[in-house]
Amino acid sequence: MKKSLLVLGSLFFGVSAFAQKVEFDQYTLDNGLHVILHQDKSAPVVVTSVMYHVGAKDENPERTGFAHFFEHLLFEGTKNIERGEWFKIVTANGGNNNANTSDDRTYYYEVFPSNNLELGLWMESERLMHPIINQIGVTTQNEVVKEEKRLRMDNQPYGQVFTEVKKNLFTKHPYRWMPIGSMEHLDAATLEEFLAFNKKFYIPNNAVLVVAGDFEKEQAKKWIKQYFGPIAKGTPVTKTKIEEAPITKEIKGQYQDPNIQLPMLIEAYRTPSMKTRDARVLDMISSLLSGGKSSRLYKKIVDQKKMALEMSSFSMSQEDYGVYIVYGIPMQGVTSDALVKEIDEEIEKLQTELISERDFQKLQNVFEKQYVDENATIEGVAENLASYYLLYGDVELINKNIEIYRSITREEIRDVAKKYLGKNQRLILDYVPAKKANN
C-alpha cells in the first residue's frame, strides 16, 4: 500500500509538472506598457486584464484609501463610454468584469466570449487614456466606499482584525493602514488630488496588460498597438523603500469589537517579502500548523484538548513585508494565556525538531495541488502572469515557483520557524467583545 502511494505521488508530480506548463509571449510597447499574451484555445473565452503598480502603500498618509477608491472611480465612465454604461456594455456582450486592490497593486479585468477581444482591449485602453474624473463621480463613489467599509469591516464580526494587526506590526511602513483607508481622508480630498493621483500612477509604464485565452496572437498585437500605442508615456514612478526596525520585544494589544460575543486570540509576526525563499517556507509552516482539520494546531487544540472552537493560521506575503497570523477562538473558561501556551508548544517543536518524512510528503502534496489549482482557470493564469511580472519581476515564476517549494527541506522549515517566530518578535492581540455601558 505504501509503495502504491509513493508511485501515485510520483505520477502526480510528473503529470502536474508537465500539464501545468504555461506558455506565454511578452513584449513592451514604446510607451512602456508591458504586454503578456497567453494563448489557450480549450474554451471560447478571452481575458483582458491590466494590473497597475499602485496600491495602498503608495498613498499619502494623510490621504489613505486613494488606490482602492480608484478601483471604483475608474468604472465611472470615459470620454467614449458614458457614465453608468461600463457594466451594461460588458454584460450586453456576454462578459463579466471586476477589479480589486491590495497594498501593492490594483487589478482590472474582463472575461468575454473570444469574439469580443477587441471590445475588451478598447475598454481597458479607454480606462487608461480617457477616464472622466469629475466631482459627480467622486461624490458617488465616496458613498459606495463608505457603505463597503460599513458592510465589510465596521459591522462585520471580527471585521477589524487586520486593521489592528497591521497598525501594531508596522509603525513606519504604509502597510500600517488598510487599503480601504480613512473615510475622513477621502472626505477631505479635493478633485485636484484625485486627478493628480490618476496622472501619477495610471500610466502605461506603470502597468502590465495580459491577454489570455482563445485568440489569434497577430491580430491581438495589432489591436494592442492600435488602442494602447497612442497613449503617452508618463513620468516614471519612483518608489521609496521604507524599512521597519526589527521587532525585538513582544507587543501586547487589545481591541473591543461590538459585533462579537466570543473572544479571539491572535498571534501575529512580521515576515519577509514574498519574493524571498523564506516566505515560501513560511507558507509551508502555515499549512503544517493549521492547514485543515488534520493540521497540528487544529488536531491538538480543537479535537483533542477541546480548548478552542476554531484554530487557524495563514501567511500573507506581500511585496515589501509579509504578515503571519495564528488565531483561535477559545472555548468558554479557557484563557487566552492557556491558548498561547498550547500554540507556543507546537511552534517550539517546529523550531527544535525536524518534521517527519510523512508530514513532509503531505506538505509537498498540498503545494503540488495548490500549484495545479492556481492555474486551473484562464482568469487565474491571467492574474498570475500579471502578478509575477509586476510584483516579483519574473514572469517565468508562473512555471518555476513550484520548483522553489519542491526544493525546500525539512531543515529549512525548522530554521525559518526559529528565525521568524520568536516570542520576542510577535504581537499578542486579545480581540474581545466590547464591554456594555452601565445603565
- If you write DSSP's letter for every residue of 263-291 in order, what string do you get? -EEEEEEEEE-TTSHHHHHHHHHHHHHHS
Taking a C-beta distance cutoff of 8 angstroms, is the pair 33, 205 a contact? Answer: yes
> Taking all residues of the chain, what is their mean pLDDT, rounded to a whole number?
93
Rounded distance between C-alpha atoms, residue 101 and residue 51, angstroms = 10
Residues in the chain: 439
Q: What does pTM read for this prediction?
A: 0.93
Nearest to 56 by CA among 158, 151, 162: 162
Residue with cell 523603500: 241
Confidence (pLDDT) at 366: 94
CB 375 within 8 A of CB 425: no
81-133 per-position pLDDT tens digit:
999 999 999 999 999 999 999 999 999 999 999 999 999 999 999 999 999 99
3-state SS string over 353-403? CCCCHHHHHHHHHHHHHHHHHHCCCHHHHHHHHHHHHHCCCCCCHHHHHHH
pLDDT of the residue at 292: 78
Three cell numbers, residue 196: 493628480
The model's pLDDT over 177-205, given as tens digits with 9 standing for 90+, comes to: 999 999 999 999 999 999 999 999 999 99
Q: Which three cell numbers stand for residue 171?
A: 509603525
Listed in sequence order, the DSSP H helices in 26-116 are 66-73, 86-92
Give the pLDDT band of residue 241 (cuts 50, 70, 90). confident
Q: Which of 379, 308, 291 is nearest to 342 (CA)?
A: 308
What pLDDT does residue 436 have?
73
pLDDT at 110: 98
pLDDT score recorded for residue 19: 46
* Dihedral over alpha carbons 159, 164, 165, 168 (to 10 degrees): 170
SS3 state of residue 309: strand
Cell numbers of 69, please?
477608491
